[in-house]
């Protein structure tokens, strides 16, 4: 993702727009047809000084045939921009509102990381604690197999930095195998995070803990359960109280899988390929449903990808780290650790030298200069949604959310819009001094 670049940059080749962007195209979702010349509905307060963002979002929704999107921007801790574009519910012709809730997928990981870092600050955890020693779980071990002894070596820091020893490209990602796990455990779906962890404890690691980086949802599932063990609270309740309570964000919550359980103010999700799958959740268990509404094990994603939030709530979270000395969530040392370069191969490029980007504790990071400034970000996508959260070194933060994943040509929306958001921000000559948090934060 080029979002980690400094604000002055050249366009990367993969940000080049598809030729379809300039054609007369029709956006095809159920009950929805929009020609590229049609007006994209927009909500929220317009400001002529911030027109580059309006122009970008309107054109992007058309070019990439996105049903709906939301963008929020902070500067100096103030919410200066918050608008919705397109449709939250195509069938009902409901526009996206600035406060609309979206599934944020892996943008959940920075949230979990902050909750863990808070526990470290309070000395309830140490980064070098062995996770399984704290968890004390009984593994599910298939007949003829033994527990890989390396599981005992995995630390909190390694889970945070994706160096715990799991590589989904080498073996598999258990979040995509709910039916297999349920069958192995002899239970009916849905499977919980605890089921997934116990099942995976009977599987060998793909590499020695700490040896290298490999993105892992499982590591964050472990962190979510660790939060519950250490605090004696459910993961969701603890995070809402300790991470979002101090920020005044009340609407954030864990998502539900079935359409009928959609939260108040939550958008509807669309899959351009209109895939179907077998429902994991009663009362539709075993029925064919749209994949984004019950065929994925969404309610077990939790700490690695289960939250729903507004773009406003996400930039409130991101702006909490604008001034490390006055952060309402973490002290300056914990924030520095959150964005620190990992030791060993995880912090280096293929040439063995320090990489231009790396994964810290819950954030992708690009150092900007010798003064310790960094750009930090996270992306997320699951069927029906994509999300991008960016913290820029100069005090700007933004979150953009979509109620579909990828465009019809299969290109990731976050990757397509990322560089263009930096360009739009750089075109703004006069920033408003108003703060919309007081009016819009929920």
For residue 24, the model assigns a pLDDT of 27
What local confidence, expressed as pLDDT, does residue 198 receive?
A: 96
Cα angle 120-106-298, degrees, rounded to a multiple of 5 = 110
Helices (H) and strands (E) in the chain — how many of each? 13, 14
Distance CA(41)–CA(358), nearest Å, equals 38
CA 326-328-329 angle, to 5 degrees, is 120
Query: Is residue 47 over pLDDT 50?
Result: yes
Distance CA 54, CA 48 (A): 9
pLDDT, averaged across the chain: 91
> 351-367 in b/e burial notation, b at 16+ Cβ within 10 A?
eeeebebbbbbbbbbbb
* 294-320 per-residue burial string, b: 16 or more CB within 10 A, e: under 16: bbbbbbbbbbbbbbbbbbbbbbbbbbb
User: What is the model's pLDDT at position 105?
Assistant: 98
> 169 falls in which pLDDT band (50, 70, 90)?
very high
pLDDT tens by residue, 254-276: 999 999 999 999 999 999 899 99
Token pair listed for 355: 């990489």
Q: In this predicted structure, what is the pLDDT of residue 410?
A: 92
Tokens standing for 151? 């599981």
pLDDT exceeds 90 at position 316: yes
Percent of the chain with pLDDT over 90: 86
Gap between the Cα atoms of 109 and 312, Å rounded: 17
Query: For residue 144, how many C-alpha atoms fall within 13 Å in the half-sphere facing its CB?
Result: 0
Contact predicate 29/91, CB 8 Å: no
At residue 136 the predicted structure's pLDDT band, cuts being 50, 70 and 90, is confident
The pTM (predicted TM-score) of the whole model is: 0.92
Single out the residue of 311, 277, 292, 281 nearest to residue 406, CA to CA. 292
CA distance 279 to 109: 26
List Cβ neighbours of 204 (8 Å cut-off, separation of 6 or more). 148
pLDDT over 70 (residue 330) = yes
Q: What is the mean pLDDT of residues 420-425?
A: 98
């Amino acid at each position: 993702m080029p979002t980690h670049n400094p604000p002055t940059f050249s366009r990367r080749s993969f940000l080049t727009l598809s030729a379809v962007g300039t054609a007369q195209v029709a956006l095809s979702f159920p009950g929805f047809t929009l020609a590229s010349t049609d007006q994209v509905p927009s909500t929220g307060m317009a400001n002529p000084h911030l027109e580059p963002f309006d122009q970008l979002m309107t054109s992007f929704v058309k070019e990439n045939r996105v049903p709906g999107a939301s963008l929020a921007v902070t500067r100096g801790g103030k919410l200066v921009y918050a608008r919705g574009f397109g449709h939250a519910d195509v069938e009902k012709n409901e526009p996206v509102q600035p406060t609309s809730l979206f599934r944020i997928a892996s943008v959940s990981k920075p949230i979990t990381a902050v909750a863990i870092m808070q526990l470290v600050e309070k000395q309830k955890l140490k980064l070098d604690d062995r996770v399984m020693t704290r968890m004390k779980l009984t593994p599910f071990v298939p007949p003829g197999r033994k527990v890989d002894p390396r599981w005992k070596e995995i630390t909190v820091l390694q889970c945070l930095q994706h160096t715990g020893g799991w590589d989904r490209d080498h073996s598999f990602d258990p979040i995509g195998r709910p039916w297999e796990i349920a069958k192995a455990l002899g239970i009916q779906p849905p499977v919980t995070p605890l089921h997934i962890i116990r099942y995976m404890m009977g599987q060998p690691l793909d590499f020695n803990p700490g040896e290298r980086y490999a993105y892992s949802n499982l590591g964050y599932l472990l962190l979510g359960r660790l939060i519950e063990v250490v605090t004696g609270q459910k993961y969701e309740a603890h995070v809402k109280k300790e991470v979002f309570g101090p920020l005044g964000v009340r609407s954030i919550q864990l998502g539900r899988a079935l359409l009928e359980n959609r939260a108040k103010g939550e958008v509807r999700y669309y899959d351009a390929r209109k895939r179907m799958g077998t429902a994991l959740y009663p009362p539709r268990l075993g029925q064919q449903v749209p994949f984004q509404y019950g065929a994925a094990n969404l309610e077990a994603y939790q700490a690695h990808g289960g939250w729903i939030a507004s773009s406003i709530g996400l930039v409130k979270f991101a702006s909490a780290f604008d001034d490390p000395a006055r952060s309402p969530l973490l002290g300056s040392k914990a924030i520095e650790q959150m964005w620190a370069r990992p030791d060993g191969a995880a912090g280096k490029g293929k040439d063995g030298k320090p990489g231009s980007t790396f994964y810290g504790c819950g954030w992708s990071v690009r150092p900007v200069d010798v003064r310790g400034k960094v750009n930090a970000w996270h992306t997320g996508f699951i069927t029906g949604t994509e999300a991008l959260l960016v913290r820029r070194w100069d005090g700007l933060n933004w979150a953009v959310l979509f109620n579909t994943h990828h465009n019809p040509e299969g290109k990731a929306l976050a990757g397509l819009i990322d560089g263009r958001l930096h360009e739009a921000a750089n075109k703004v000559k006069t920033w408003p001094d108003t703060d919309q948090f007081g009016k819009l934060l929920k």
